Amino acid sequence: MTILVTGATGNVGRHVVDQLVKRGANVRVLVRNPAKADFPAGVDVVQGDLLDVDALRGAFAGVSTLFLLNAVVPDEFTQALVALNVAREAGVDRVVYLSVIHSDLYVNVPHFAGKFGVERMIERMGFSATILRPAYFMDNDVTIKDVVLGYGTYPMPIGAKGLAMIAVRDIGEIAAIELIHRHNATRPLPTERINLVGPDTLTGADVAAIWSDVLQRPIAYGGDDTAGFEQNLRRFMPAWMAYDMRLMSERFLTDGMVPAAGDVARLTALLGRPLRSYRDFAAGIAAAA
């Protein structure tokens, strides 16, 4: 039987596919444009998207396990529910879903609330599922490296509560491990949720201090201006998405993204190695500059 990966051309999805292939799994991917897909040999590529019911039906043929990842888009919730219904129709009973940490807490943030709704539907529909709840992707900060390097400021308004930032490579590897675990189980396993966090919970000041250390010059934290953050984002994303990101950043300030007791130890044991740190991420950016 085959594992189907959605969102396979994105930052997380590519790592999931690579890790599954390394582990000898039969992998199929659903992509909008196969001409732009560059996957390891042996990966079966199906053209389509999560609203293309006919393509989904074809993609699910011979599949036992689904990795469900869909982008932050206005119809994200609908996409997920269509995919889940077609999966169940096809006899797929095992799912690994990429949600977000505190999806049940950040209830006013549209893409968090949507993902929490999907979590509930996965449970109500009777899937055997692992729900992965990642914290802030440290790799997102690639987008602001020029501000850090050129202006000496870390501009993300992440506040003083702390975010347990995680590397997308770690997310991809953990997802692959869980997919193989579900796929190989002789019977459906109970649904479980796993917080995906990094080894350190970092405030805005902490991140600025890390950049200062690796660059050997002062880097300032830009502060907690979420309104300014929204306006900056509107220069390169739709207004609704920039507002969604602002609402998320406001919850960073009030609640943070703090791991539960035992999260780091659980992930370290699952990977069999330490989690990648933000310091290593920043040092890699600095070395390449």
DSSP β-ladder status, 44-47 and 94-98: unpaired
Amino acid 85: pLDDT: 98
Which pLDDT band, with edges at 50, 70 and 90, does 37 fall under? Answer: confident
Select from 71, 69, 91, 84 the least CA-distant residue to 120: 84
Q: Is 48 left (phi over 0), alpha (psi -120 to 50) or beta?
A: left
Amino acid 200: pLDDT: 97
The answer, yes or no, to whether residue 233 has pLDDT greater than 90, is yes
Cα separation, 73 vs 241, in Å, equals 8
Domain architecture of the chain: domains with CATH: 2-134+167-196 (3.40.50.720)
Length of the chain measured in residues: 289
Beta-bridged to residue 93, according to DSSP, are: none
Over residues 175-210, the pLDDT tens digits come to 999 999 999 999 889 999 999 999 999 999 999 999
Amino acid 198: pLDDT: 98
Angle CA(258)–CA(261)–CA(262) in degrees, nearest 5? 115
116-128: average pLDDT: 97
As given in the structure block, the two tokens for residue 239 are 């207004």
Q: What is the CA radius of gyration of the chain?
A: 19
CA 118 to centroid of chain Cα atoms: 15
Select from 226, 134, 130 the least CA-distant residue to 176: 130
Amino acid 36: pLDDT: 80
Over residues 138-153, the pLDDT tens digits come to 999 999 999 999 999 9
Which pLDDT band, with edges at 50, 70 and 90, does 239 fall under? Answer: very high
Amino acid 252: pLDDT: 98
Over residues 21-36, the pLDDT tens digits come to 999 999 999 999 888 8
DSSP letters spanning 247-286: HHHHHHHHH-B-PPTTHHHHHHHHHTSPPPPHHHHHHHHH
Of the chain, the end-to-end C-alpha distance in Å amounts to 44
Amino acid 46: pLDDT: 95
Amino acid 38: pLDDT: 87
Query: In degrees rounded to 5, what are phi and psi of residue 64?
Result: -110, -25
The answer, yes or no, to whether residue 121 has pLDDT greater than 90, is yes
Amino acid 207: pLDDT: 98
73-101: average pLDDT: 97
The answer, yes or no, to whether residue 1 has pLDDT greater than 90, is no
The answer, yes or no, to whether residue 289 has pLDDT greater than 90, is no
Query: In degrees rounded to 5, what are phi and psi of residue 67?
Result: -100, 110
The answer, yes or no, to whether residue 54 has pLDDT greater than 90, is yes
Amino acid 59 reads: A
Cα separation, 218 vs 195, in Å, equals 33
Amino acid 82: pLDDT: 98
Q: Tokens 């440290």 label which residue?
A: 138
Amino acid 32: pLDDT: 92
Amino acid 229: pLDDT: 96
47-73: average pLDDT: 96
Residue 195 CB coordination number (10 Å) = 22
Cα separation, 164 vs 34, in Å, equals 35
DSSP H or E stretch at residue 98: strand 94-98
Amino acid 212: pLDDT: 98
Query: In degrees rounded to 5, what are phi and psi of residue 38?
Result: -130, 90
Amino acid 159: pLDDT: 98
Averaged confidence pLDDT in the chain: 96
Amino acid 191: pLDDT: 95
Helix (H, G, I), strand (E, B) or coil at 222: coil
